[in-house]
Structure 1
Amino acid sequence: MGRILRGIRLGLKSLLLHKLRSGLTVLGIVFGVAAVISMLAIGEGSSRDAQKRFEQLGATNIIVRSVKPTDESQSTGGRPARILAYGLKFADFDRIMATVPTIKKALPIRELRKQIRHLNLEIDGRVVGTTSDYDKFNHLEIERGRFLTESDNARYENVAVLAAETAKTLFPYEDPLHQTVKLGADYYKVVGVTRERASTAGIGGSLAAQEFNKDVYIPLNTCKLRFGERIMNSRAGSMEFEETQLSQVTLQVGALTEVGPTHPIVEAAVKPYHPKKDVDIIVPLDLLNEAKRTARQFSIILGTIASISLLVGGIGIMNIMLATVTERTREIGIRRALGAKRRDITQQFLIETVVLSGVGGLLGVTLGISIPQLIVYFIPEQKAVVTGFSVLLSFGISVAIGILFGLYPAQRAAMMDPIDALRHE
Structure 2
Amino acid sequence: MELLENIKEALRSIKSNRLRTILTGLIIAIGITALVGMLTAIDGMKAQIEESFSGLGANNFDVRSKNTSGQRVTRSGVTEKQFKPVSYKDALDFRKGYSSRGMATVSTRVSGSTEVKRGSEITNPNVRIIGVDENYVLIKGQNIEEGRNFSNVEIEYGNNVCLIGSEIVELLFKSHENPVGAYVSFFGNRYSIVGVLEEQGSVGNDSGVDRTILIPVENASRLDQTGGFWYTITVSTSDPTKMEYEMGQATGLMRKVREDRVGELDSFEVVKSNNVGESLEEVAGYLRIGGFGIGFITLLGASVGLMNIMLVSVTERTREIGIRKALGATPKRIRQQFLIEAIVICIMGGVFGVLVGMGIGNIVASFVGPGGFLVPWLWMLLAFMICVLVGLVSGVIPAIKASKLDPIEALRYE
State which drifts further: 110-119 or 333-342. 333-342
Q: Say if 1:121 and 1:58 are closer, same or farther in 2 by CA, change over 3 A.
A: same
Secondary structure of the equivalent of 1:217? strand
Q: Conserved in 2, the CA contact under 8 Å of 1:353 and 1:403?
A: yes
- Segments of 5+ residues of structure 2 without an aligned counterpart are 1-7, 75-82
Provide the C-alpha distance between the structure 2 equivalents of 1:401 and 1:310, rounded to a whole number of angstroms: 14
Q: Give the CA RMSD over aligned residues.
A: 5.4
Matched, 1:332 2:316: no
Secondary structure of the equivalent of 1:245? coil
Matched, 1:250 2:234: yes
Match of 1:323 in 2: 311
Provide the C-alpha distance between the structure 2 equivalents of 1:229 and 1:194, rounded to a whole number of angstroms: 28
| 1:150 aligns with one of 130, 152, 162 | 152
Q: Say if 1:387 and 1:146 are closer, same or farther in 2 by CA, change over 3 A.
A: same
Q: Conserved in 2, the CA contact under 8 Å of 1:50 and 1:291?
A: no
Shift of 1:133: 1.6
Shift of 1:357: 7.3
Q: Conserved in 1, the CA contact under 8 Å of 2:163 and 2:213?
A: yes
Q: Say if 1:95 and 1:404 are closer, same or farther in 2 by CA, change over 3 A.
A: same
State which drifts further: 339-348 or 311-320. 339-348
Compute the TM-score of the two structures, normalised by the length of structure 2.
0.66
State which drifts further: 396-405 or 103-112. 396-405
| 1:163 aligns with one of 159, 162, 165 | 165
Provide the C-alpha distance between the structure 1 equivalents of 2:301 and 2:250, rounded to a whole number of angstroms: 53
Match of 1:282 in 2: 271
Shift of 1:319: 4.0
Match of 2:195 in 1: 192
Secondary structure of the equivalent of 2:17? helix
State which drifts further: 336-345 or 251-260. 336-345
Provide the C-alpha distance between the structure 1 equivalents of 2:161 and 2:133, rounded to a whole number of angstroms: 12
Provide the C-alpha distance between the structure 2 equivalents of 1:54 and 1:15, rounded to a whole number of angstroms: 46
Compute the TM-score of the two structures, normalised by the length of structure 1.
0.64
Per-residue displacement from partner, 1:349-386 (whole Å, max 9, x unpaired)?
85566557755886798789879999999xx9xxxx99
Secondary structure of the equivalent of 2:115? strand
Provide the C-alpha distance between the structure 1 equivalents of 2:153 and 2:406, rounded to a whole number of angstroms: 96
Shift of 1:136: 1.8
Match of 1:260 in 2: 248
Shift of 1:176: 0.6
Aligned residues: 378
State which drifts further: 37-46 or 356-365. 356-365
Q: Say if 1:39 and 1:280 are closer, same or farther in 2 by CA, change over 3 A.
A: same
Alignment of 1:194-233 (within 5 A): 194-197=197-200, 211-225=208-222, 227-230=223-226
Provide the C-alpha distance between the structure 2 equivalents of 1:57 and 1:98, rounded to a whole number of angstroms: 21
Provide the C-alpha distance between the structure 2 equivalents of 1:192 and 1:264, rounded to a whole number of angstroms: 36
Q: Conserved in 2, the CA contact under 8 Å of 1:130 and 1:217?
A: yes
- Segments of 5+ residues of structure 1 without an aligned counterpart are 17-21, 74-84, 202-208, 231-242
Match of 1:110 in 2: 108
Alignment of 1:355-394 (within 5 A): 355=345, 387-389=374-376, 392-393=380-381
Shift of 1:129: 1.4
Per-residue displacement from partner, 1:73-131 (whole Å, max 9, x unpaired)?
9xxxxxxxxxxx96321243255457778654442212222222223142532112122
Secondary structure of the equivalent of 2:184? strand
Shift of 1:146: 0.9
Provide the C-alpha distance between the structure 2 equivalents of 1:60 and 1:160, rounded to a whole number of angstroms: 24
Q: Say if 1:177 and 1:359 are closer, same or farther in 2 by CA, change over 3 A.
A: same
Shift of 1:419: 3.9
Matched, 1:10 2:7: no
